[in-house]
Amino acid sequence: MAQFDFKFISASDGRRLRTGVFAPERPRGRVAVLLSGQSEFIEKYLEVIGELNARGFTVATFDWRGQGGSARALTQPLKSYVGDFAEYDDDLQSFMAEVVAPISATAPLVLAHSMGGHMALRALHDQPGMFSRAMLVAPMVGISTRGYPGSLARAMTALQTFAGKGREFAWGMAERDPFLIDFSRQLCTSDSARFERTQKILRAHPELRLAGPTWGWIEAAYRSMKRQSEAGYAEAIRTPTLVFGAGKDRIVLTEAVRRFASRLPNGRYVEIADAEHEILMEADAIREEFWRAFDGFMG
């Protein structure tokens, strides 16, 4: 990465968002928008950004409200909370208008992981033409409830939120503070070196860390996923889209990803059998499989 620039912008409701633009040494006029997942932050993706730069892309990215270097929603900074995913829509709109539009004369590519993939799907559906192509990595279209019936988890989330506990950690989520989790207990990657790299960044910059979601965040996620599961939603997305599923995902339901991808009129699906949830943070062989599919899709 020859040069980069961080700056703060404000969403339409005044929420402060940290953004970054990373330009390659030899720009080719191509822009990639990188959308991270829940709890993530720009620095975690520096390796991916470098790989996109090497392919001639200028990379534009940002931290969603409530995480990374952007303004937190609650006074307890480790809690992940949002009242409705429409707030994330607002973040993306502001970012596209203030950061991406000035550097991209045409619709950019979007590369999005997990919750970022979920939000990319909302944009692809609601604003056709925002992106020229989409690559969605383990997009959050279904959440693993790890042995509990999904209907029970959904009902419990609604009950806790109705009871006024929307801003409280969901059960077990306070323990997802990155400082409390070692490699043997995490669920996202089989690559210990890349896991430790992220931990090292967080130890140096503890203000970036986030624990698990609140009941309110999960309830908002369920509402948005329900909308995306409705008949006609995926079918209305016409943007060429490459969807990646992780064969060993324990966060997002790979079967839900597979089903959603099959409904996209211009969609292709690639499942990486040995990958945990964070395909982009996985072992070299898994990442090489991802980049081969990426390059093939780009032509």
CA dist 119 to 86, 89, 98, 131, 221, Å? 9, 7, 18, 12, 10
Structure tokens at 41: 């932050």
Does the pLDDT at position 1 exceed 70? no
Question: Is there a contact between 290 and 244 (Cβ–Cβ < 8 Å)?
Answer: yes
User: What pLDDT was estimated at residue 22?
Assistant: 96
Question: Is there a contact between 195 and 184 (Cβ–Cβ < 8 Å)?
Answer: no
Burial call 87-106: b when 16+ CB within 10 Å, e when fewer: bbbbbbebbbebbbeeebee
User: What pLDDT was estimated at residue 4?
Assistant: 67
Tell me the sheet residues that pair with 246. Answer: 272
Does the pTM of the predicted model rise above 0.95?
A: yes
Does the pLDDT at position 9 exceed 60? yes
Mean pLDDT of 20-40: 95
> Which residue in 137, 70, 126 sits closest to 93, CA to CA?
126
Structure tokens at 254: 């790979």
Question: Is there a contact between 172 and 153 (Cβ–Cβ < 8 Å)?
Answer: no
Place 150 in a pLDDT band, splitting at 50, 70 and 90: confident
Residues 160-170 have pLDDT tens digits of 999 999 999 99
Residues 51-92 have pLDDT tens digits of 999 999 999 999 999 999 999 999 999 999 999 999 999 999
Q: State the alpha helices, DSSP H only, in the chain.
A: 46-54, 86-95, 115-126, 150-162, 192-204, 215-229, 254-263, 284-298
Domains of the chain: 3-78+85-145+225-298 (3.40.50.1820)
